[in-house]
Structure 1
Amino acid sequence: MAGTRLLAAVLVLGLCMLAGAEKPSPCRCSRMSPQSRKNCGFPGITSDQCFDMGCCFDTSVVGVPWCFDPLPNQESEECVMEVSARENCGYPGISPQECASRKCCFSDAVPQVPWCFFPQPVQDCHY
């Protein structure tokens, strides 16, 4: 009985998440390297189904997930990128304010990578 209630709760939560999901921005999808993609769908999923779940969809690379989790949201689209793509714009211990004064992006969520890094133009982002 408890298992049934738990399953029902999980299903309701999942449906609520689907209802609130929206298509991620182009930068959150196109700046993800194919090797880093984490599967977000199921075999045969359509682009609409994938986007409805808040995931990215790209069939241009064989052998990797076509429906995949997007990169994390950032304050600015210019700051959305994989941590491996960050080019240092500061120094160890730089404050978010000093980083912003240099017109750079700041994110301290991942250790041992540049926290203050140069933005990238959004013109190269696409679906």
Structure 2
Amino acid sequence: MGPRGSGILVALLGLGLCSLVASSKPTPCQCSRLNPQNRKNCGFPGITSNQCFDVGCCFDSSVAGVPWCFTPLPMQESEECVMEVKARKNCGYPGISKEICASRNCCFSDTIPEVPWCFFPQSVQEEELV
């Protein structure tokens, strides 16, 4: 195989790995911590739970009138940091660094402007008590 053929092989391998990552099953926290009213449709009418999970989405048919197959919350470094933006309780100050935030045993995500970037984690035990 020449240099051109190996480049194509590398590109195809990269696309395949991206497909695997995109379709990985979300964690329970990514699905259960999302308010049903905030769900964004990720499927089609009549989609099964297996089909939904196969494309990397969450499935919950227990709430009528909202999408049953929906986009999960973004993955964080720790499942305790997976939560809706409005659930974040500030653990820092504007401009706090990831390192200082971590020294406070808090979560850090700077992907959304004008919300707390350093916030308290939410334990699974707290979630079960609510």
Same fold (TM > 0.5) = yes
Alpha-carbon displacement from aligned partner over 1:86-116 (angstroms, at most 9, x marks no partner): 0000111111111000000000100111000
Select the structure with the greater relative contact order (CA < 8 A; seq sep ≥ 6): 1
Distance 2:112 2:22 in 1: 27
Number of equivalenced pairs:
111
Bigger radius of gyration, 1 or 2?
2
Supply the distance in 2 between the matched residues of 1:75 and 1:46 (Cα, whole angstroms).
29
Q: Deviations over 1:14-34 (max 9, x none)?
A: xx8379612100000001111
Say which SS state the counterpart of residue 109 (structure 1) adopts. Answer: coil
2: CA distance, partners of 1:46 / 1:18:
20
Q: Deviations over 1:2-61 (max 9, x none)?
A: xxxxxxxxxxx7xx8379612100000001111111101111111111101100000111
**One-letter amino acid matched to 2:106:** C
Counterpart residue identity of residue 80, structure 2? E
Counterpart of 2:33 in structure 1: which amino acid?
R
Q: Distance in 2 between matches of 1:109 and 1:92?
A: 14
Cα 1:17–1:90, aligned 2, differ >3 Å: closer, same or farther?
same
CA contact (8 A) 1:21 1:54 kept: yes
**Root mean square deviation, CA, Å:** 1.8
TM-score (norm 1): 0.81
Which residue is equivalent to 2:43? 41
Q: Any gaps of 5 or more consecutive residues in structure 2?
A: 1-14
Paired position in structure 2 for 1:84: 86
CA distance change for structure 1 residues 20 and 80 in 2, over 3 Å: closer, same or farther? closer
Q: State the match for 1:116 in structure 2.
A: 118
Trace 1:23-38 onto structure 2 (pairs within 5 A). 23-38=25-40
Change (3 A) 1:49 1:94: same
The runs of at least 4 consecutive aligned structure 1 residues that moved more than 6 Å come to: none
Gaps of 5+ in 1: 1-12
| % same residue | 75
User: Given the alignment, which residue of 58, 61, 65 partners 2:60?
Assistant: 58
Q: Which amino acid aligns with 2:42?
A: C
